[in-house]
Chains A and B, each alone.
Chain A
Amino acid sequence: MTMKRDLPETTDPGALLQLRQLGISYGTGSSGERHWILRDLNLDVRDGEFLTIMGSSGTGKSTLLNLVAQTLQPSAGQIAFRGKVVGGADMPADPGSGRQIGYVTQDDNLLPWRTIWDNVIFPLTLAGKPSASEVERARRVIDQVGLTQWKKHYPHQLSGGMRKRASLARTLAYGPPVVLMDEPFGALDAETRAQLQADLLDLWASEKKTILFVTHDINEAIALGDRIVVLSGSPGRVVLERTIDIARPRDPELVFKAPTFAGHYDAVRSCLRAASQP
């Protein structure tokens, strides 16, 4: 059912994920009036890149991730993965196809009736009995996020930060090359958030994932990302792309000491300011 087609214009041969003229709209065709949330969005994401996505609220940041995760049907454009078109306006959205995408949402979305271990192993069981190496990987990521002693507990017995860790472990155990994260640390206290940011950078470095990370916190975007993309306008599109040249490994809490930090911060902030003005 997946049509194997090459993307007509491949600008970046190293790109893992390519979005071309991607758009989504809602509204009925009868009045001829369609409201576009995102339109003509072009974006290339390199293999192993940590991309942070910003934008004032309502510019379609979460919608963009939903399009990439294929939980929403695009109205225009194409999505290509490793040069092959996997989604677009002319094919039905098929979430979970090919096990390429992991999605960590704002809510932890753990199944409340499963223990932490059963939650982490859940995506692996959907494709049949998990192999020994998959079980081993699940055990390793649970250990990496520090939840080994909590494996047999139910989600409601854990704190918000721990549930977030469990949710992250579940996605990493699933083993997708691309991980989408939608303000995953937004609802956490500052200390927990800093700890999780540092852990995430460690995991990213060791697991070699490609991450698309939505946040509304400029500090977080600079501290984590290789590149920041700012979405703006209605319909939303990319108004700023900025490479963050701060050396790694980074300490998210001390990243503001980097000499180029202020420049990045001001550029992103002025872009967001301009976007929020009518």
Chain B
Amino acid sequence: MWIDRIALACVTLAAWEAIGRFRGSYWISSPTLVVERIWILAFNGDLWFHGRFTLAEAFGGFLLGAIPGCAVAMGLRSHPFVRAAFLGVASIGYAVPKTALVPLFILWLGVGPAAKVALVAAAIFFIVFYSTLNGVDAVDQKLLSSARVFGASEWQLLRHVVWPAVVPYMFGGLRVAVPYAIAGAIVGEIISSNRGLGYLAQFGASDFDTTLVFVSLVTVMLIVLSVSAALSRVQQRLLRWQTGSSQDPHAGAA
């Protein structure tokens, strides 16, 4: 299985390199040029300078979106009326394309990192909110009732029954949210910024420096892949109790 993947990657890279060599690298650059440039930028500190802005915006927005998303979904559990009202409003918020809000965020928060953080948070909130809400709805009522008979308080139910049952769903949301967080930060930077990986790509394109565009793309890709891998390690550690190797949220409930 791994052999297949490596072979396919090699073929693609070789084709890219070949086209770059024989038809000119002006429009599509080439893998060797990209690696060479990454090497240079990594050593002169430019990559780290821009990368850390993107990472910080994505991470900050991720926390600002995910924590309230999760908390609100959990909190609405025992308030059906508030829940119905909130869901109505949330569906409107969810329907609005978050990138359309960027001018507003810039107006309110300026062109600095705060506007990007807000954009990321707005996107992440809904993803995590809806996936956590699914988890809350799927909590086995019999487990709740049985814990009540043992004298569990509302808080203990939330802590010992609802929360562990929600975690697999929440992780499903978080894993979807990671690329969105980075994407939000990048989009924010492309629209208006003078730093960050999105700015780097934008700057490269306006300078007809195709290699620079690819450098920022590859860096973004590596960031998303490594964050997703880290998240899935945490998930496996936390969800040891689930049946077999399956990380399907329904597996534990069966």
Binding site for B on A (CB under 8 A): 69-71, 95-97, 99, 101-103, 105, 107, 109, 111-114, 122-123, 126-127, 154, 156, 174
Contacts and interface: CB of A to CB of B under 8 A. Distances in A.
Given A105-B142, A126-B156, A154-B241, A113 B164 contact: yes
A71 B160 contact: no
Interface stretch (B62-70, B74-82, B146-154, B198-206): B146-154
Nearest to B253: A112
B160 A122 contact: yes
A112 B152 CA distance: 17
A154 B254 CA distance: 13
A107 B142 contact: yes
Contact of B164 (A95, A97, A107, A111): A111
Given A95-B145, A109-B146, 8 more contacts: A95-B148, A96-B150, A107-B142, A109-B142, A113-B164, A113-B241, A126-B156, A154-B240
B239 to A, nearest CB: 8
Contact of B143 (A71, A97, A109): A109
B161 A123 contact: no
Contacts of B219: none
Contacts of B153: 126
A122 B180 CA distance: 39
A103 B149 contact: yes
Which of B148, B149, B160, B240: most chain A Cβ within 10 A? B149
B149 A95 contact: yes
B164 A99 contact: no
Given A109-B142, A112-B241, A101 B164 contact: no
Shortest 4 CB-CB contacts between residues of A and residues of B: A96-B151, A123-B150, A109-B146, A113-B241
B134 interface: no
A126 B152 contact: yes
B252 A103 contact: no
Interface residues of B, number: 23
Contacts of A69: 149
B243 interface: yes
Interface string B164-178: 110000000000000
Contacts of B143: 109, 111
Interface in B80-120: none
A112 B145 CA distance: 15
A222 to B, nearest CB: 28
Nearest to A99: B151
A182 to B, nearest CB: 11
B151 A111 contact: no
Nearest to B254: A156
Nearest to B240: A154
B241 A122 contact: no
B241 A96 contact: no
Contacts of B152: 96, 126
Contacts of B243: 156
A114 B143 CA distance: 13
B242 to A, nearest CB: 8
A126 B252 CA distance: 23
Contacts of B150: 96, 102, 122-123, 126, 174
Contacts of B145: 71, 95
27 contacts: A71-B148, A95-B151, A96-B148, A99-B151, A101-B149, A102-B149, A103-B146, A103-B149, A107-B142, A109-B140, A109-B143, A109-B146, A111-B143, A111-B161, A112-B241, A112-B242, A113-B165, A113-B252, A122-B147, A122-B160, A126-B147, A126-B153, A126-B160, A154-B240, A154-B241, A156-B252, A174-B150
A107 B145 CA distance: 12
Contacts of B165: 113
Nearest to B239: A113
Contacts of A105: 142, 146
Nearest to B148: A95
A114 B146 CA distance: 15
Interface in B113-151: 140, 142-143, 145-151
Nearest to B152: A126
